[in-house]
Structure 1
Amino acid sequence: TLQVKFDYLKQKVTSGSARFNHCEQLAQKLMGDDNLFSERVENHQKELKQSWNSLLDHIDETTRELQEAGEIHIFRREVEDLIARMREKEQLMGKEIGEDLATIKSQQLMLERFERDFAILEIQEQNMMNNSTKLQATYEGSRNMELVLQQEAHLQEAWNNLQKKIAKRKEQLSTAAERKLFMIDTHNLLDWTHDVQANIKEKETPHNVEEALALKINREQLKADLEARKDAVSNVIKTGRFIVDDADSNSSNKQKAMSESSSDSNSDSESSDSEYDYAPSFIKIQDDIQELSTRWTELSDEVDNRVRSLESVIDILNFDVKIRKFLDKIRDKNLVLERHEEDAQMLLKKYASDDNNNFHLERIQDLIRRHQAFEQDTDILAKEIESMSEEGKSLIEQIPDANDHISAKLTTINDAISQLKDKSKQRSDTLHQAEKVQNYFDNYHELMNLLNEMLNKITAPHLPLDVAGAQLLCDRHNDYKTQMDARKEEFGAFEVKGRSLCKEGHFMKEEIEKRIDNLMARGALLVETWKARHTIYKHHLDIRMYMRDAEDFEVWLLREEFHLKNDDLGNTVEEVEELLRRHKDFLSAIDAHSYALESVKRLTIIEDSFYAQKHLENHSKKESSSNDKEIANKMEESIKKIEEEEKKSKQEKSESTDEEQERVIHEISIPEVNGVHGQEERSPPLAMDDKSSVEEPNGEIGGGSSSSDEEENEFLDAPDGYSSDPKRDVFNSSSESSSCAEKCVEATDKKKKKKKKRKDCRVM
Structure 2
Amino acid sequence: QLMSVVAVGDQLVQQQHFGAERIQERLQDTLGNWNHLLDLAALRRKRLEEAVDFHQFFADADDVDIWMLDTLRLVSSEDVGRDEANVQSLLKKHKDATEELKNYASTIEALHTQAGQLGEQDRTAPEVVERLNSIDHRYQELLELAKLRKQRLLDALSLYKLFSEADGVEQWIGEKDRMLQTMVPAKDIEDVEIMKHRYDGFDKEMNANASRVAVVNQLARQLLHVEHPNCEQIVARQNQLNHEWAELREKAEGKREELNSAHGVQSFHIECRETISWIEDKKRILQSTDSLEMDLTGIMTLQRRLSGMERDLAAIQAKLDSLEAEADAIEAEHPEEAAVIRERITQITQIWEQLTQMLKERDSKLEEAGDLHRFLRDLDHFQAWLTKTQTDVASEDIPGSLADAERLLNQHQAIREEIDNYTDDYTKMMEYGENITAEPSTQQDPQYMFLRERLKALRDGWQELHQMWENRQQLLSQSLNLQMYNRDTRQAEVLLSQQEHVLSKDDAVMNLEQAENLIKRHEAFLTTMEANDDKINSVVQFAGRLCDEGHFAADKVSKKAENIADRRNANRERALQQMEKLKDQLLLHQFLQDCEELGEWVQEKKFIAQDETYRSAKTVHSKWTRHQAFEAEIASNKDRLVRVQQAGEELMKEKPELAELIAPKIKELQQQFQ
Q: How would you bin the TM-score normalised by the shorter chain?
A: 0.3 to 0.5
TM-score, length basis structure 2: 0.39
Higher helix share: 2
TM-score, length basis structure 1: 0.35
Comparing both chains, which one has the higher relative contact order based on Cα–Cα distances under 8 Å and sequence gaps of 6 or more? 1
